[in-house]
């Protein structure tokens, strides 16, 4: 009788030990699965981040390519270079074109006695000045200066003027910019080439308002 009781007790102890072992193993397996899920999630986030960075980089590259690489000197900077050389002169004419094979500004101006003309490389700011010319007697003492001086304050940029002109024409490329004055209004005259057609668009140089358009024959 005692033997049966001892045997039954031993069997119960072994049975309980086996159950406890099974219960301990289960959480370990669950923990492993959770860790694997976390790794996969992190990997997906990294891939998403890489994709977003790639899209941003492509967008930035596209934007930088839209700017004419030959024109690195702004119109404000070109005028500043002219005025640094001739502090008392007023700007009476400004052109930006590529007639010499690359883009140059040609700026003319006058003071009370002389007329000046310079050419500025639109890529590296190199300035070449012509010899000053003496004004006629009736143009001296500020006469020509007051009549022909352009308003160069608050100018819209050549990029903005070109964009306005191209949109007005309906497509094409802005190739030349002239700053001039008529009836007291300073304006940009922008040449736009669209296929075989060339159009000149006059734009108020301060407000961006289109003043007129003319198609070259």
So what's the pLDDT on residue 192?
Answer: 96
Is residue 212 a contact partner of residue 204, using CB atoms and an 8 Å limit?
no
Among 167, 188, 160, which residue's Cα sits nearest to residue 97? Answer: 188
| Entry pTM | 0.68
128 vs 32, 98, 116, CA distance in Å? Answer: 76, 16, 11
165 three-state secondary structure: helix
Q: CA 53, CA 141: separation in Å to the nearest integer? A: 62
Out of 3.40.50.300, 3.10.450.40, 3.30.450.20, 3.90.1150.10, the CATH code matching 151-217 is 3.10.450.40
CA dihedral angle for residue 139, residue 142, residue 147, residue 152, rounded to 10 degrees:
130
Checking if the pLDDT of 134 tops 90, the result is: yes
Give the total residue count for the chain: 217
Does 69-149 match 151-217 in CATH topology?
Answer: yes
106 vs 102, 122, 167, 183, 191, CA distance in Å? Answer: 12, 10, 26, 23, 16
Q: What do you get for the CA distance between the two ends of the chain, in Å?
A: 127
Out of 3.40.50.720, 3.20.20.70, 3.10.450.40, 3.40.50.360, the CATH code matching 69-149 is 3.10.450.40
Strands (E), the chain: 90-97, 104-110, 114-121, 127-129, 133-134, 173-182, 185-194, 197-204, 210-215
Q: CA 214, CA 49: separation in Å to the nearest integer? A: 50
Strand-pairing partners, residue 96, are 105, 177
So what's the pLDDT on residue 50?
Answer: 45
Q: CA 79, CA 148: separation in Å to the nearest integer? A: 16
Is residue 89 a contact partner of residue 80, using CB atoms and an 8 Å limit?
no
Q: CA 68, CA 113: separation in Å to the nearest integer? A: 38
So what's the pLDDT on residue 57?
Answer: 39
Among 100, 59, 103, which residue's Cα sits nearest to residue 78? Answer: 103
pLDDT in tens, 70-86: 799 999 999 999 999 99
Q: What is the average pLDDT value for the chain, to the nearest integer?
A: 78
Q: Which 8-state DSSP code applies to residue 66? A: T
* Domain residue extents for the chain: 1-66, 69-149, 151-217
Checking if the pLDDT of 67 tops 50, the result is: no
Checking if the pLDDT of 68 tops 50, the result is: yes
Checking if the pLDDT of 9 tops 90, the result is: no
112 three-state secondary structure: coil
pLDDT in tens, 115-124: 999 999 999 9
């Amino acid at each position: 009788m005692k033997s049966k009781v001892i045997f039954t007790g031993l069997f119960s102890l072994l049975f309980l030990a086996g159950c406890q072992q099974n219960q301990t193993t289960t959480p370990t397996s669950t923990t492993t699965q959770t860790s694997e899920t976390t790794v996969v999630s992190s990997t997906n986030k990294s891939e998403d981040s890489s994709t977003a960075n790639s899209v941003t980089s492509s967008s930035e590259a596209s934007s930088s390519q839209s700017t004419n690489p030959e024109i690195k000197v702004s119109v404000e900077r070109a005028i500043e270079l002219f005025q640094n050389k001739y502090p008392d002169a007023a700007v009476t004419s400004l052109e930006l074109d590529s007639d010499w094979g690359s883009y140059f500004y040609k700026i003319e101006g006058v003071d009370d006695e002389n007329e000046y003309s310079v050419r500025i490389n639109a890529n590296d700011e190199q300035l070449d000045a012509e010899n000053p010319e003496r004004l006629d007697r009736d143009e001296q003492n500020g006469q020509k200066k007051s009549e022909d001086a352009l308003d160069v304050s608050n100018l819209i940029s050549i990029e903005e003027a070109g964009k306005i002109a191209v949109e007005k024409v309906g497509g094409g490329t802005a190739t030349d910019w002239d700053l001039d004055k008529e009836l007291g209004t300073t304006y940009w005259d922008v040449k736009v080439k669209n296929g075989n057609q060339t159009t000149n668009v006059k734009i108020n140089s301060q407000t961006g308002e289109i003043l007129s358009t003319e198609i070259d024959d």
